[in-house]
Amino acid sequence: MVTPTVAAFTDTYLPTVNGVTYTVKSWREAWESRGQTMDLVYPKASDYDPGAGEYPVRSVRFPFYEGYRLGAPQVPEGVTDADVVHAHTPFGVGLSGLRLARSNDLPLVASYHTPTSEYAEYISFNGAVERTVRRWARSYERWFFGRADLVIAPSERTRDHILNDVGIDTEVAVVANGVDTDQFRPVDTDAFRERYDIGDGPVIGYTGRHGYEKCLSDILAATDGLDVTVLFGGDGPAREDLQARAETLDLDVRFLGFLDREELPAFYSTLDVFAFPSPVETQGLVALEANACGTPVVGVDSGALSDTVVNGGTGYRYPQGDIEAFQEQLERALAERDQLSQSCLDRRERLSVDHSVDRLEELYESVRTDTEAAPIT
């Protein structure tokens, strides 16, 4: 069996740091570590120099969403010899992938990383406009993903959303994003604690994008009255409001800002509990990274976190919007920290990115075979 050459298209890549970037980068590195080829097309940014097999295209800053760029729908000449096209976005650069696949009769695999309708508020001025944008986003998703030969979802819950809510007839396969378990493991935290002046008491925290859609203010509400230190790693448009809210509470809250990837294992290992109130996750990669470091997660029982967080195993879930229940589950996880941590560590191997790429390779070969076998009409 000849392993296919893949051309991947994404609207989110370095130097922008988020879950999609990490997934695209880790899948590509794992794929190429096997001696295989995965070229990458992404929006050009002035502060990132492309490496071998990386093809930046012209881009402009997206005014409504910080850190996001709109790439021109171009197909670089260097990726035209691909056997399989993998689009990690339905917009901009992803349309280039669709064009390459259709013009060259290649199979198109499309990953569903983000429910685009959830970000309608960023480009809406009132409720009526937001509802219109949400309807348009859902229709557009149906159009784009319905043209793929295979759609990849990172969780069973997201698969159900694609089939039932987006409403497509395309096959949808579940492939977890995966975690680099060599990097994400329990580590010594002394240097990290000293750098950020963190004491020995219980610590609850979150790292990732500070977006309004992630309901991060619920962390402040749920920890109000608890004798804990609260850490926020990362950045985003909601940070200023979160800081203002924190100043009104009698809480030890630290905003650490953007953390280098190398710092994250120490961050997760420092936490006694990772708090995750976001209802819009398609998998919740940071939750899996925390678990790989032995840190339990208390997350909202909504979206993919309903599957990602295993009650009594990797943490606890609570009903969306129920701050009292959120606080109760945080206290429960703190009390059971040692046994939850061991349960998380017992599950590490099934989280690995290599396991995910094994499955990805099977799917690439499957769609390639199906496309070659399809009758010419």
Residue 208 has pLDDT above 90, yes or no: yes
Q: What single-letter amino acid sits at 43?
A: P
Q: What single-letter amino acid sits at 9?
A: F
Show the tokens assigned to 53: 């097999």
Question: By the 8 A CB rule, do 211 and 118 touch?
Answer: no
C-alpha to C-alpha distance for 203 and 100, rounded to whole angstroms: 49
Neighbours of 199 (CB within 10 A): 9
Give yes or no on whether 6-178+352-373 and 190-349 have one common fold: yes
Among 19-33, 62-76, 168-182, the range scoring the smallest mean pLDDT is 62-76
- The superfamily (CATH) of domain 6-178+352-373 is Glycogen Phosphorylase B; (3.40.50.2000)
Q: Which of 69, 110, 19 is nearest to 304 (CA)?
A: 19
Angle subtended at Cα 268 by Cα 310 and Cα 287, rounded to the nearest 5 degrees: 30
| Coil, strand or helix at 148 | coil
Show the tokens assigned to 266: 């120490």
Residue 47 has pLDDT above 90, yes or no: no
Write down the pLDDT at residue 377: 45
- DSSP code of residue 297: E
| Coil, strand or helix at 355 | helix
Cross-strand bridge partners of residue 57: 43
Write down the pLDDT at residue 66: 62
C-alpha to C-alpha distance for 85 and 339, rounded to whole angstroms: 44
Show the tokens assigned to 366: 């499957």
* Domains of the chain by residue range: 6-178+352-373, 190-349
Cross-strand bridge partners of residue 108: 85
Tell me the pLDDT tens digit for each residue of 136-166: 888 999 999 999 999 999 989 899 999 999 9
pLDDT band at 72 (very low <50, low <70, confident <90, very high): confident
H-type helices in the chain, by residue range?
A: 19-32, 92-103, 127-145, 156-160, 190-195, 217-223, 239-247, 264-270, 285-292, 305-308, 323-335, 337-346, 353-373
Residue 120 has pLDDT above 70, yes or no: no
Helix, strand, coil % over all residues of the chain, rounded to 5:
45, 20, 40
E-strand stretches of 197-242: 203-207, 229-233
Does CATH number 3.40.920.10 belong to domain 190-349? no
Residue 375 has pLDDT above 70, yes or no: no
Among 13-22, 111-120, 245-254, 267-276, the range scoring the smallest mean pLDDT is 111-120
Question: By the 8 A CB rule, do 242 and 232 touch?
Answer: yes
Residue 290 has pLDDT above 70, yes or no: yes
* Alpha-carbon separation of residue 106 from 56, 149, 324, 363 (angstroms): 22, 9, 52, 14
Residue 368, C-beta contacts closer than 8 angstroms, at least 6 positions apart: 4, 83, 84, 107
Distance of CA 228 to the CA centre of its chain: 27
Residue 172 has pLDDT above 50, yes or no: yes
pLDDT band at 369 (very low <50, low <70, confident <90, very high): confident
For 76, phi then psi, to 5°, come to -60, 145
For 134, phi then psi, to 5°, come to -60, -40
Question: By the 8 A CB rule, do 305 and 287 touch?
Answer: yes
Q: Which of 258, 268, 203 is nearest to 230 (CA)?
A: 203
pLDDT band at 2 (very low <50, low <70, confident <90, very high): low
Show the tokens assigned to 316: 């606890």
